[in-house]
Amino acid sequence: MVQHRPHTTVVLAMSADGKIADLVRSPARFGSGADKAHLEKQIAASDAVVFGAGTLRTYGTTLTVSDPTLLQQRKRENKSPQPIHIVLSSSGNLNPDIKFFQQPVKRWLLTTTTGAIFWQERSEFERILVMETSRGNIDTRAVWQHLVSLQIKDLAVLGGGEVVASLLASDLIDEFWLTICPLILGGTAAPTAVEGQGFVSDLAPRLQLLDVCTVEQEVFLHYRLQRSVGMD
């Protein structure tokens, strides 16, 4: 079967009540060393990782592959040391002075015509992808199809909730890796793994549990999106 888009996996850590950050959206550093190692493993297995502008603004950096075993694995597979890091931002409103732009990774920007203006004559992004809907929004379906032609076969989505919601609504997600961390954040202002308008229960995406692993106080859940026979 021809692959029409990258195999897309969401990788997120969350509190026991489903929050991916606190009420002031501080960087989510509540995951353990085991969770960080798990995240690095998922990044190393990917051809590219995607994250939203909000996630980048919060952290100012991205996680790179540093484990020698993972680096050797990528080398054996004839891959570059780091996957491509793709920022999804309709506005393109990003600070060029943050540390992310000094990290040793290839950077791509997924944006709109307006969002691309500032970056077109600059060198921070190796590639700028502009594909819009008739309403001027990022056409994620068209972009995901285009990514396959750019040799992106396995894609990891690292947040945030608005990005995940958009990709779910467009049926572009295949798997979830969710780490449940032992704390409660609460609050209506604290972001969840899936933001956006939400789904009514009858139309909500359904998941198939593939694996459960407990490491000390954290639970690692691996899900696959359930689809009807014949769907991509």
Q: How many CB atoms are located within 10 Å of the residue 162 CB?
A: 17
Give which of 111, 150, 130 is closest to 3, Cα–Cα. Answer: 150
Question: Measured between alpha carbons, how far is 223 from 209 in angstroms, rounded to an integer?
Answer: 5
Three-class SS of residue 219?
A: strand
pLDDT for the residue 134? 85
Query: Mean pLDDT per 10-residue run, the chain (232 residues)?
Result: 82 97 91 96 98 95 97 97 97 97 97 96 96 91 95 96 95 97 96 93 95 97 83 49
User: If 0-12 CB within 10 Å is exposed, 13-18 middle and 19+ buried, where does residue 128 land?
Assistant: middle
Q: In this structure, what token pair is assigned to residue 15?
A: 């509190």
Sign of CA dihedral 201, 18, 168, 42: negative
Strand partners, 49: 85, 156
Tokens 């493993």 correspond to 41
Sign of CA dihedral 89, 29, 198, 42: positive
Domain boundaries, the chain: 7-225
Strand partners, 48: 84, 155
Residue 91 near residue 53, CB atoms below 8 Å: yes
pLDDT for the residue 228? 65
Question: Measured between alpha carbons, how far is 41 from 20 in angstroms, rounded to an integer?
Answer: 20
Give which of 21, 12, 15, 13 is closest to 191, Cα–Cα. Answer: 21
pLDDT for the residue 227? 82
pLDDT for the residue 2? 44
Residue 60 near residue 99, CB atoms below 8 Å: yes
pLDDT for the residue 59? 95
- Mean pLDDT (the chain) is 94
Residue 62 near residue 46, CB atoms below 8 Å: no
pLDDT for the residue 27? 87
What's the Cα-to-Cα distance from 93 to each of 50, 90, 121, 151, rounded to whole Å? Answer: 16, 8, 15, 27
Q: Which CATH number does the domain 7-225 belong to among 3.65.10.10, 3.40.190.10, 2.40.50.140, 3.40.430.10?
A: 3.40.430.10
Three-class SS of residue 72?
A: helix
